[in-house]
Amino acid sequence: MSAPARVLVVDDSPTMRGLISAVLSSDPDVNVIGQAGDALEAREAIKKLNPDVVTLDIEMPNMNGLEFLEKIMRLRPMPVIMVSTMTHRGAEATLAALEIGAFDCVGKPAPGEPRPFGDLAEKVKAAARTQRQFVQPPAVPVPPVSVAHFRVGRKIVAIGSSTGGVEALIAVLQKFPANCPPTVITQHMPPTFTKSFADRLNRLCAPVVEEATDGARLEIGKIYLAPGGERHLQVANASAPSCRLVERDPVNGHRPSVDVLFDSVAELAGRNAVGVILTGMGRDGAAGLLKMRHAGARTLGQNEKTCVVYGMPRVAYELGAVEQQLPLNAIGEEILKMTAARKEGTE
């Protein structure tokens, strides 16, 4: 049996530090070894305690969490889980943190929330287990790749991701040309974060990226990101494929769920689809990707070496749902190969 994950909790609020510590301490496989109220205290605690994982508040006095994270990733790379307010400002800062190299994020709970920080302990344990080398990415975003003479076919692309998905999706979608195939994405993310993430992707990528709305027609050159929290994203209407947002219970503990999206794509598009499963905890999307492959779709999975967490892609691969496993930097190009129009016509 492995040793418990050793965690340092950093937050300027004593109440929040106590709540986070209580939630984590309720899991026997997590050991809260210390607390800190600001970046200066946290720096000394990291030197003294050598934690496996740090939970870090975005907004703190003296030095905010984003600035402190940059220093951690430059001077002592380690798994960091960001704790953020569920606001637009909090979302923007958290997305920047995930691009810098934070392992994952959680939202601060609303008053009276029945299960505050519901999956934080699982994220901490996954962070402690990861073999990922935490390094700071380039400060300047890579510009979108220009894909000359790409002719899009008739396929729909469906992508599922979770922990590590912010960086992974940026890496994949920056390979897409402005006339990319219609693409639908479910990324596990707190409810108020997905609009900010869609806007961020839209700035970084050549195609139009938007948060999916109910009834939005799937169009060439557009990418649709499932909104977080309340509904699942599906595709519907074979004669005019479009987004459908449906109210259902969480699936695999998630809403939106990758399995729900992949199931709908398998039923609607069959062989005229490409399914992609990227880095993430758990097994959401594995069964749906298998359904897509059985329906004739092409399927790709991110390989273990380039995953932040090789959970969802591993389960999909073991089920036989993955046609090809590829490193992250090769997935975008492979999607384009699979969706390009044939010379004699279109697929």
**What amino acid positions are annotated as catalytic residues?**
162, 188, 284
Written in H, E and C, the secondary structure of the chain is CCCCEEEEEECCCHHHHHHHHHHHHCCCCEEEEEEECCHHHHHHHHHHHCCCEEEEECCCCCCCHHHHHHHHHHHCCCCEEEEECCCHHHHHHHHHHHHHCCCEEEECCCCCCCCCCCCHHHHHHHHHHCCCCCCCCCCCCCCCCCCCCCCECCCEEEEEECCCHHHHHHHHHCCCCCCCCCEEEEECCCHHHHHHHHHHHHHHCCCEEEECCCCCECCCCEEEECCCCCCEEEEECCCCCEEEEECCCCECCECCCHHHHHHHHHHHHCCCEEEEECCECCCCCHHHHHHHHHCCCEEEEECHHHCCCECHHHHHHHHCCCCEEECHHHHHHHHHHHHECCCCCCC
In angstroms and rounded to an integer, the radius of gyration of the C-alpha atoms of the chain is 20
> CA 347, CA 345: separation in Å to the nearest integer?
7
d(CA 84, CA 93): 8
